[in-house]
Structure 1
Amino acid sequence: MTEETRSHPFRDSAQDARAARQIPDTPQTRAPAYRLAFTDTEFLTREELRPVRLQLELLKAQMMLDEYNVRSTIVMFGSARIPAPEDRGTDRPTEALARYYDEARRFAYMMTARCIGPDCLDGVIVTGGGPGIMEAGNRGAAEAGGISIGLNIVLPHEQAPNEYVTPDLCFNFHYFAIRKMHLLMRAHAVVIFPGGFGTLDEMFEALTLIQTGRMKPVPFLLFGGSFWNSVVNWQALADAGTISPEDLRLFRIVETAEEAAAAIDDWHAVRPDIDAPAK
């Protein structure tokens, strides 16, 4: 921030952070108590500062995406373990699901190609930023010449962002809850590919938000009928009365990128309330 863009007459915190690095080295200035609170990592990571860290994670991505003028997104969830073409042939169990990487890549390409250029920031692909299906989504968007968002999270494994995320839109999170909020808060559509615990968690949380009216209805697509109908007995939930029969209409199962794109178009055509602002 420069003096010209500053909205107040006070000295900027960045100026003081720089000035604090130039102070004499004495027992007093070396003591933790003397550090500026907002530059003190040990202080910011204390247990009592969790509310502040939650707010920082919410604000950082919010402010940077707003500054980039991202208006709406297409959310892609799916397994980090489904291999890219160059990684196949290892006899891993997910080899049988490899075609979904290809479909995810083609789908992201198709949706990104609809809106290319600095003035078109609707329907931007957003993923969790990791490997597998997430990489396929970011890769397809990059191959179409567009931007994409990656919302990574620190994990013991699979935590590095894939190389196809737009660098200025590549974020890293500590809190799953804040990450999932940012994944959904600009959603124009949600697309779920085969996945494990993480994908199931993301899918059911999003469905719950829509079912309970906490999130406006959006096109909600599940790629792969054979996978999802074997993993979840949807009809059994309705038959048992734990969900309403109408809840089965909250999502649609598709098999190909073309079918998914057509389903999104049709969904918005027959449900104009989807594009209405959330209350």
Structure 2
Amino acid sequence: MDSSVEAVVGALAIGLLGFFTVGYFVVVGAGLGLGMLLPWLAHDPRERRQVLAASARGGAAWLVAAAGVLLTCLPQMAGELLRERCPALLVLLLGLAVRRAGLLRANQASVYGCWLTVLGWSWLLASLLTGRTTGATGTTAAGTVAVVALAVALLFALHGLGFGTLRLTGRPFERARLLAGRGSSRELYALTAVAMVALPLVCGLQLPLWDAAVDGPVGGSPTWLAWLPWVVVPLLAAVAALLTVARTQARRTFPDTLRPAFRSALRGTRRGGPRGGTGGGAP
């Protein structure tokens, strides 16, 4: 098979992996961060339902697509990540499962799931950024990974907070604005979104992705998997295009759906009409 064609498919596979991973961190990362902050933003069942609804951003497509690229086009890299960073991946998978169960039942488990998921991601990304495996021993190595992981978790929380100031209404919105400070809500969300874009890209630079693409199915070894990238890459490229169109369309309609909520929240009203005090209880 022409090596130049293999190089193009390998480059597309790496590009798709980056695209889907970045999309996951920006879109779903906001929901995870908002879910982490739920105890501080919502003080009654109605407020909790509002925050849960805002935090339950659809992100399965992003994560499944990224995992599909990794497993089918870069299986050697997937195996290396599993061997060297298994504890962080287990925490991540547990968090995803707990969060999903909590969202389905609309209970406190979603908060625990968000914290576990962010812990798993923070641990995994910190190990990539520092070049340490999750099983590394030694006080210095563990301390470095812990500090970086804490910074990553804080970024998730800030990203969720910025999203909350744009999406929430009523008392949860007011609490989010209080936590965010006097800065612009859009500026906070934009800054954290840029950081969330950069984070997985910088981590990806620490991995030998090109070597994995050349040595794996894209390069024709093992032979029985050589056909997978030729099916998966075009399919996921189409998915990427559809997701981009969907996000663009949502962005165009987003301001029109939020402006009434902003005016309502700033006047201290609820959907059922003006409220006083804490705004608790059903109308």
More strand by share: 1
Structure number with greater CO (CA < 8 Å, separation at least 6) is 2
**TM-score when normalising by structure 1:** 0.25
* Greater fraction helix: 2
